[in-house]
Chain A
């Protein structure tokens, strides 16, 4: 993916750098104390936890009759619902969108509402990059200035680690806020 200038966290740091330092264990003093960098680190740890926990999980019990039928209906994918993973390999778009919503849902103070993945025409070498549009709601009080950087970093990393298609860009839309104290819904 081309190197480009991206929206930094509210403190001015790049979320990707914070993730990289967290991965390598080379966090500097600022990153260890700054609240914006701390939430980016928490995102990094969450994705790591999700991926390793799921990868280690045992096989599910055999599905019930109803689950099998629902699964078959859901799996009946039309050509426009498929993302190209490589030569003769495809991935259902609805399930890829659900996976990205799931990782964003796991982030502190954020809930994913809608996710849309779009893939332009197939490229010759490897899968064509995708564009992701994510709509989220945030807990009242969450630092919105950092949300873009955090969600972008989460989507790009999760997309590359769990889907394997390069991500060309991420559009993030904060649609609403909720407040735990009021018991307001997601």
Chain B
């Protein structure tokens, strides 16, 4: 008998978002307009409340067989060096995905915002 594991896009996105938010220097994940509006709508319809640490806004993930593609968009704090921080987010998200799902992902990171003091 063979057993096969399939991981959904959503589960993958949750793993990626959770790990990306934990990288020091990352302030938050930044969703695009569609994701943000859908997220806000979901907040007003509390059928299935999603705890903050599992939100996937800012992450787009697709599974193709044993490969996966993940796009992460983050805001970082001013003072963190963007190039190495982006590399760290890529490495940590990829490592986490491989460790928890066995998938080998390609992770793309965009820093959309450097959070400046008010």
Which A residues form the contact surface with B (CB < 8 A)?
Answer: 50-55, 57, 59-60, 62-63, 65, 68-69, 71-77, 82, 85-86, 88-92, 95-96, 98-99, 102, 127, 161-165
Of residues 47 through 85 on chain B, the ones whose CB sits less than 8 Å from some CB of chain A are 52, 73, 75, 77-85
A86–B79 CB distance below 8 A: no
Of residues 61 through 113 on chain B, the ones whose CB sits less than 8 Å from some CB of chain A are 73, 75, 77-87, 90, 106-113
Residue B8 interfacial (CB < 8 Å): no
B113–A71 CB distance below 8 A: yes
Q: B106: which A residues are within 8 A, CB to CB?
A: 88
A-B pairs with lowest CB-CB distance, top 6: A164-B83, A75-B112, A89-B86, A72-B36, A55-B79, A54-B79
Q: A68-B36, A74-B112 are in contact. Are A91 and B86 (CB under 8 A)?
A: yes
Q: Give 15 pairs: A residue, B residue, CB < 8 Å, sorted on A.
A: A51-B78, A52-B79, A54-B116, A54-B117, A63-B28, A68-B31, A68-B40, A69-B40, A72-B32, A75-B32, A76-B32, A85-B87, A88-B107, A92-B111, A162-B80
B111–A86 CB distance below 8 A: no
Taking A60-B27, A95-B111, A162-B80 as given, write out 7 further A-B residue pairs in contact, using a Cβ cutoff of 8 Å, ordered by the A residue number.
A51-B78, A62-B52, A72-B32, A88-B107, A88-B108, A90-B109, A163-B83
Q: Which of under 10, 10 to 19, 20 to 34, or 35 or more describes the interface residues of B?
A: 35 or more
A92–B112 CB distance below 8 A: yes
Q: A54: which B residues are within 8 A, CB to CB?
A: 77-79, 116-117
Q: A54-B78, A85-B111, A88-B109 are in contact. Are A127 and B83 (CB under 8 A)?
A: yes
B114–A95 CB distance below 8 A: yes
**Nearest CB of chain A from residue B78's CB, rounded to whole Å:** 4
**Quick one: closest B residue to A68, CB to CB?**
B36
Tell me, in angstroms, the Cα distance from A92 to B109 when the chains sit together.
11
A86's partner among B25, B33, B39, B87 (CB-CB below 8 A) is: B87
B90–A88 CB distance below 8 A: yes
Tell me, in angstroms, the Cα distance from A121 to B110 when the chains sit together.
18
Tell me, in angstroms, the Cα distance from A86 to B80 when the chains sit together.
16
Of residues 1 through 50 on chain B, the ones whose CB sits less than 8 Å from some CB of chain A are 25, 27-28, 30-33, 35-37, 39-40
B82's partner among A62, A72, A163 (CB-CB below 8 A) is: A163
A75–B30 CB distance below 8 A: yes
**Quick one: closest B residue to A51, CB to CB?**
B79
